[in-house]
A and B are shown apart, each in its own frame.
Chain A
Amino acid sequence: MTASFSLGWLPRAIILGLIAFAVFGPLANLAIWAFAEAWFFPSKLPSQWGFRFWEVVFRPTGRAMEALNVSVWIALLTVAVSLIVSIPAGLALARGRLPWRALIMLAFLLPQAFPSLPVYINVARIFYEFGLNGTVAGVVLVHTLHGLVFAVWITTAAFASVDKELEQAARNLGASGLRTFFTVTLPLAAPGIVASAIFVFLESLDEFTGSYFVGAPEIQTLPLTMFLASMGGNYQISSITALILLVPSIGFMLIVERFLKADVMAKIGN
């Protein structure tokens, strides 16, 4: 280690330290609240630490556990519905001879180009007429719309990045179109499809606005429970609930690159 090495590192270390504080500071504050049993102004840290509020949240009869259960079910159903419609759509958009392809791609871009909140308000009003308001099905449908845009984009990109020559080789060896799809195209596109499934799952798990208008108060998802706890001034409960929501998100961030390869990323939106 030379002297210039350590000198050169000083400004770099300060800047990286500041960025680290900006990134992790808010998360650290959340973690502190999750373990704070007593924290009164103006002390800088809680006067009493502990797991008392964790016991409240994780109590089997607790509202948060019930909400987690509801949220996970809604997310799984949303993934199922999204994949069922987006895999065929992605295949057609990537490989098919689709008339008005640009127009159809535009239709899948549209929900991203408009603010969703005013649309959700009217979805809730329409669902009310069909008795879908305050039902799991209603929330799943809203989340599906939200996730579908990403699902279609990512699956289209995943199919587009599959080498056509491999499919051609399978066809030349006598495989049928359907067999080629299931033995060549689908397995090769699988990492991208898994990525889109995880993405849709997380989007559904974390979704707040649509659930707020369509689901509440009958359907209490985890984000809605967290919101109510926070607005009620119960920072411990809301921070613990927030940490539960963070676990899958951070987990996905750590593994996302394994599924979303650069060649798929480069084809998104094409």
Chain B
Amino acid sequence: MNQSRGLSLLLVTPALIVVLALFVYPLGYSLISAFTDRAGAFSLENFDKAFELYLTDTIFTVVIIGVSTALIAAVSIAIGGYLTLGENKTAVAILAWLYRWPLFVPFIVAAQCMRTFLAKNGLMNNSLVSLGLMDVASTQSFLDWRGIIVTFVWKQAPFVTLMVAGAMASLDRSTIDAARNLGASRLRILAEIVVPQIRGTLMVGLILSFVTMMSVLSVPIMVSGGSPTMMTVDMAYRINSHGDYGVANALGFMSYLLTGAAAYFYLRQSVRDRSA
């Protein structure tokens, strides 16, 4: 069905209006708000205040999300690799069935699960104690930065794995089989043949995860109550307790910058894929 250019534009216009009105406009609004003082003049005072109050939290956010992203990459390559190269059909089937359960669990439900699971008296510690792997005295709560990382990896790794395993499944098997016939180990095939070919998909998955984790409010509030905390919690606090849009938007701008680097890779990748 070939449409004229005018009809095509007309069809796409309503969707574009939604994106412009509900995303581009508020985004511009936040940028202006970040760079103006209360009188409406250009100023960097919001950033001074944001740095003064929340520099630790910004570093904390970068470290948590960086570590989570690295772990998600490792988990998704390991699971995807086994699903692609595993020789035991039953084990592959069990793993394929197992790994995806957290995929559609909402963040807020994941946070509630972890809030109980990782607690000092949670199921994780209780199971370790019952198995005799740990004694009661040495149990500790993981409801801090570690809990946030565990929750992020638990929730996001299946998503990236789904993409990675899909890309791996559609690879040309002949090179893999040839390498296998020449006696290459499966680990080496994974590292040197499989992963280089799915790097694009892996990157897109990781960047989508990165941006998602930068936006989650429920997990840092519910899993780790204390300080330091993540920038999302600080933004909500500036709004709810002080009505301070300037500093909240300055923090927002900083989180755009952090994801901007990631988005740059993402867009470059998709542009390159399209021109290929």
- Listed in ascending order, the chain A residues whose CB lies under 8 Å from chain B are 8, 12, 16, 19-30, 32-33, 41-42, 44-45, 84-86, 88-89, 91-93, 95-99, 102, 104, 106-123, 125-126, 141-142, 144-145, 148, 152, 167, 171, 177, 180-181, 185, 202, 205-206, 208-209, 212-213, 223, 226-227, 230-231, 235, 238-239, 242, 245-246, 249-250, 252-253, 262, 265-266, 269-270
Decide: A114 and B94 in contact? CB cutoff 8 A. no
Pick the contact of B108: A21, A227, A252 (CB < 8 A): A227
Central interface residue in A33, A85, A121, A253, by most chain B CB within 10 Å: A121
Known contacts being A91-B11, A266-B170, is A148 close to B18, with CB within 8 Å? yes
| Contact A125–B245 (Cβ < 8 Å) | yes
Among B26, B102, B271, contact of A123 (Cβ-Cβ < 8 Å): B26
**Which 4 A-B residue pairs are closest in the complex by CB-CB distance?**
A118-B252, A96-B8, A206-B106, A26-B113
Q: Please choose the segment from B37-45, B50-58, B182-190, B259-267 that sits at the chain A interface, where 4 or more of its residues have CB less than 8 A away.
A: B259-267
Assuming the contacts A16-B94, A245-B106, A266-B170, asked whether A117 and B217 have C-beta atoms less than 8 A apart, the reply is yes
Give A246 to B103 CA distance when docked, in angstroms: 11
Write the chain A residue with the least CB distance to B101.
A23
**How far apart sit A86 and B12, CA to CA, in the bound complex (Å)?**
8
B100 CB contacts on chain A under 8 angstroms: 253
Q: Which B residues contact A (CB, under 8 angstroms)?
A: 1-5, 7-9, 11-12, 14-16, 18-20, 22-27, 29-30, 33, 88, 91, 94-95, 98-117, 121-124, 126-127, 129-130, 136, 154, 166, 170, 204, 207-208, 211, 214-218, 221-222, 232, 235-236, 239, 245, 248-249, 251-253, 255-256, 259, 262-263, 266-267, 270-271, 273-274
Contact B15 A88 (CB under 8 A): yes
CA distance A245 to B218 in the complex (A): 15
The dominant DSSP class at the B interface is helix
Is there an interface contact between B106 and A208, defined as CB atoms closer than 8 Å? yes
A-B residue pairs in contact (CB < 8 Å), sample of 10: A23-B101, A96-B5, A97-B5, A107-B16, A113-B211, A115-B211, A118-B235, A148-B19, A239-B112, A269-B273
Choose from B14, B20, B232 the contact partner of A88 (Cβ within 8 Å).
Answer: B14
| B29 close to A26 (CB less than 8 A) | no
Q: Which residues of A contact B19 (CB under 8 A)?
A: 107-108, 110-111, 145, 148
Most buried by A among B8, B20, B95, B126: B8
Interfacial chain A residues near B30, Cβ < 8 Å: 118-119, 121-122
A141 to B221, CA, bound (A): 25
Checking B4, B16, B116 against A29 with a beta-carbon cut-off of 8 angstroms, the contacting residue is: B116
Residues of A contacting B16 in the complex (Cβ-Cβ under 8 angstroms): 89, 104, 107
Q: Find chain A residues with CB under 8 A from B127 CB.
A: 21, 25
CA distance A55 to B127 in the complex (A): 30
| Structural contact, B29 and A126, CB atoms closer than 8 A | yes
Tell me, in angstroms, the Cα distance from A91 to B154 when the chains sit together.
36
Chain B residue nearest to A86 in the complex (CB): B15
Shortest Cβ distance from A184 into B: residue: B1
Is there contact, CB below 8 Å, between B91 and A111? Answer: no
CA distance A167 to B238 in the complex (A): 55
B105's nearest neighbour on chain A, judged by CB, is: A249
Q: How far is the CB of B22 from chain A (nearest CB, A)?
A: 4
* Contact present for B22 and A112 (CB under 8 Å): no
A146 to B124, CA, bound (A): 34
User: Measured between alpha carbons, how far is A93 from B91 in the docked complex, in Å?
Assistant: 41
Determine the distance from Cα of A106 to Cα of B269 in the docked complex, in whole angstroms. Answer: 12
Bound complex: CA A122 to CA B108 (Å): 22
Q: Which residues of B contact A93 (CB under 8 A)?
A: 12
Question: What residues of chain A lie closer than 8 Å to B7, measured between beta carbons?
Answer: 92, 96
* A95, B104: Cβ atoms closer than 8 Å: no
Of A117, A118, A177, A245, which contacts B109 at CB under 8 A? A245
| B22–A145 touching, CB < 8 Å | yes
Is the Cβ of B8 less than 8 Å from the Cβ of A92? yes
Question: Which of B1, B95, B218, B255 is A115 in contact with, Cβ under 8 Å?
Answer: B255
Complex contact B112–A226 (CB within 8 A)? yes
Cα separation A125 to B14 with both chains bound (whole Å):
23
Contact A142 B15 (CB under 8 A): no
Distance in angstroms from B150 CB to nearest chain A CB is: 9
A residues in contact with B91, CB < 8 Å: 12, 16
Contact of A119 among B23, B107, B114 (CB under 8 A): B23
For B24, what are the chain A residues with a Cβ–Cβ distance below 8 Å?
107, 110
